[in-house]
A and B are shown apart, each in its own frame.
Chain A
Amino acid sequence: MRKYIVRRLIISVITVWLIATSCFFLLRTLPGNPFQTTSLLSAEMVDRMMHYYGLDRPLWDQYVTYMQNLLRGNFGYSLKYAGQSVNGIIASTFPISAQLGLQAYFLSIPLGFLFGIVAARCRGKAVDYGLVGFSVLGVSVPVFILAAMLQYVFAIRLKWLPVAQWKSFQHTILPTVTLAFSSIAGRTRSMRTFMLEIVNEDYIKTAKAKGLSKYRVVWSHQIRNAVIPMIPTMGMEIVGMLMGSFVVEQIFAIPGIGNQFVTSIQNLDYTMTLGLTVFFGVFVVAANFIVDIVYGIVDPRIRVR
C-alpha cells in the first residue's frame, strides 16, 4: 500500500508539471498580448509594460523563471490587477467559492442518495415518477434559468432571501441551492439506477434467503454495493464545486474564484490563468488520488496490495 501511495504521489507531481508546462506554452499561442486589449495604451507603453513584466524575454527563459517561482509556491503577479499577486487573489476568492461549493456538496450528497434510494424502493409508484421527473428536470434546466427563477420567487416575490451578493448566511442559500440542484438530480438518477441493478443480483436473493429483514437487506447489501460505482463521480464533483461556478457567481454577484478564472482568460492575464489552472490541477489530481484510495477501502475487489 505504501509503495502504491509513493508511486501515485510521483505520478501526481509529474501530472501537475505537465499541466503547468502545456498550459504555459498553449497560452502563448493565443493571439494578442495582455496589454493590447486596452486601446488607450500607446504602442510604446505596451512595449514598456511587456519589458516590465519580462514578457519580451525569450519564451524558454520565461518558462524557467516561472517554474522556479512555482517550485517555491509563488504564482507571480497578475498582469491585469496592478500590484496584486495571484496568490493573494486566490487567497481572497477561493474561500468564498469553497464555502459555496462545500455547502452545495454537502446538501447534494445526502439528498441525492436519499431520493435515489426512495425512488428505487418505490419503483413504479407515484413517488418514483415524481422523483424521476424531478431529476430529469434538474439535469435539463440550465443553471441560469434556475437561478433567475429562484431569485424571482424567493427574493423578489416572497422577499425571504436577498437577491444577490455575499454577506451573510442568508445570502448563501440561493446560490447553494442553485449549485446543488443539478447535482442532486443527477445523483438521484444514478443512485436509483444502481439500486435497481443490484436488486436483481444473486446475493440479494441470498440475503433474503437468510431471513434478513427487508431493511437489513437494503441497508447492508443493496445500498453499500450501489454506492461503489458512484464514488468516482463524487470525487470529481467536489473539485468542480470547490472551484466555483462562473455562472452562479456571476448571477449572484459572488466574488469567487470561478469568476476570476473566466475573466483572466478573456483578459489574457497569463500568470493569473496559469496560476489558477495549476491550482485547479492540484485539486483534481488530489481528488483522484483520494478517490482511488477510498474506492479500494469500499470495494475489496480492487484493493491494492
Chain B
Amino acid sequence: MEHLLEVKDLQVSFDTYAGEVQAVRGVSFYLDQGETLAVVGESGCGKSVSVQTVMGIVPMPPARIKGGSILYGGEELSGKTDAQMEQYRGNEMAMIFQDSMTSLNPTMRVGRQLMEGILRHQRVSREEAKQRVLKMLGRVGIPNPENAFRRYPHTMSGGQRQRAMIAMALCCNPKILFADEPTTALDVTIQAQILELIGGLQEQFHMGVILITHDLGVVAKMADRINVMYAGRIVEAGTADQIFYHPSHPYTLGLLGAMPNLIQERKGELYNIPGAPPDLFAPPPGCAFAGRCKYCMGVCEKQDAPEFVTGDGHVSRCWLLDERGRQYRPEGFGGSAGAEGRRSDE
C-alpha cells in the first residue's frame, strides 16, 4: 500500500566551520492519512531537522541532504528545487511551531499573515480570502474572529496565538500537519485545549499529523504510533501501546523511567538518564547510546545494532534483542509479543 508520506534512509548534515554535523543519520518512517505519528527524543536528536527537511525549510546551505528519499503520495521530493517545493508547503503540508510569539511576524496583522497562504495557493479574491480566514479563526475557537483578524501577535495571549498559528497552518486544507512541539511554550491547562483542538481538526480534515515532542504525556494522549529518536537515528518505532507497554530499547526505558508519576511514592529524586548524547561531529562507530546504557555489552561499542523486529510494526535497534543478548536483558524486555527479536535484514 502506498503511504501518504514515506521517508527512506534520510541523511541530513550541516556543514559548519568546525566540520560536518551529522544531524540525521539514516531515518526511515511513514505516515498514513488520518493517523498521528509522534517523534520523541531529547533536544538535538534530529527530530525537528528531519521534518523540516521534508518541508524543505531547513536552510541549505549550511544543511545538506546527503542521501535518502522523501516520497509524498509516491512523488519524490528530495531533489526538488525551492520554487517547486513552494507548491507543497502550506498547501499539501503545513507546520506549526513551538513558540507562537517568535513564529508570527511581529509587525504584520494576524489576519494578513493568514491571508498570505491562501492567496499564495488558491485563486481567490482578497475578500474571499478574508472570509475564509475569519471562518478558520472561528473554527480554531477564537471567540471574536473579526477582532483577532486586525490584531498584532503581541496583543494576543499565548493560547490565542497558537490557535491562530493552527488556523494559519490549516487554511489551505493540508494533508499533513507537522506540529513541532506545539504545546511546549504553553500553560498546562492551555496545552490540553490545544491538543484537543489539533485532534479534533485532524478528524475533520482527515490529516496525517506528525507530532514532535519530548513530553511523553502528550504522546500518550495523541499518538497512534511513536518513533523514538536518539542521536540522529530512530532507535525504536512501534504503536503507542507497544512503546508504552513493551519498550524494547534501553533509551525508551530511560525516557519512560524519567517521567514523573503521581501515583508513585515520592522518594528521592526523579530518575534521569546519566550522561549526555554523543557529539554528532564524530558519531561513535557503535550504538550511539552505548555510553549511557546500563545494559551496555562489548558489541555495543564496536558496531551499531541492526533493526530487530519484535512485533507487528515494532522495531528496535538494540543488541539485547539478539539471541546472544538474552541473558543480559532486564525483566520484561523484548517486544510486544514477548517473542524473540528477529533481525529485519535477515
Contacts and interface: CB of A to CB of B under 8 A. Distances in A.
Interface stretch (B97-105, B132-140, B216-224, B283-291): B97-105
Contact of B103 (A205, A220, A224, A300): A205
B103 A203 contact: yes
Contacts of B94: 209-210
B90 interface: yes
B191 to A, nearest CB: 19
B88 interface: yes
Contacts of A301: 106-107, 152, 154
Q: Specify which of A210, A216, A220, A224 lies most central, judged by the most chain B CB atoms within 10 Å of its CB.
A: A210
Contacts of B297: none
Question: Which size bracket describes the interface of B in this complex?
Answer: 20 to 34
Given A300-B154, A301-B152, A212 B86 contact: yes
A301 to B, nearest CB: 5
B252 interface: no
A257 B168 CA distance: 55
A224 B107 contact: yes
A294 B38 CA distance: 46
Contacts of A216: 116, 120
B182 to A, nearest CB: 13
B105 A211 contact: no
Given A209-B57, A211-B91, A203 B102 contact: yes
A301 B155 CA distance: 8
Contacts of B87: 211
B105 A205 contact: no
Interface string A204-233: 011111111110100011001100100000
A39 to B, nearest CB: 63
A209 B88 CA distance: 9
Contacts of A207: 105, 116
Nearest to A208: B57
Q: What DSSP secondary structure best describes chain A's contact surface?
A: helix
A209 B107 contact: no
B70 interface: no
Contacts of A199: 59
A275 to B, nearest CB: 41
B198 to A, nearest CB: 16
Contacts of A210: 89-90, 94, 116-117, 120, 168
Contacts of B117: 210-212
Interface in B112-140: 116-117, 120-121
A209 B83 contact: no
Interface of A: 199, 201-203, 205-214, 216, 220-221, 224-225, 228, 298-301
Interface of B: 52, 55, 57, 59, 82-83, 86-91, 94-95, 97, 99, 102-108, 116-117, 120-121, 152, 154, 165, 168-169
Given A206-B97, A212-B86, A299-B107, 4 more contacts: A203-B102, A209-B95, A211-B91, A224-B108
Give the 6 A-B CB pairs with smallest separation, nearest first: A211-B90, A211-B89, A210-B90, A210-B117, A202-B102, A202-B103
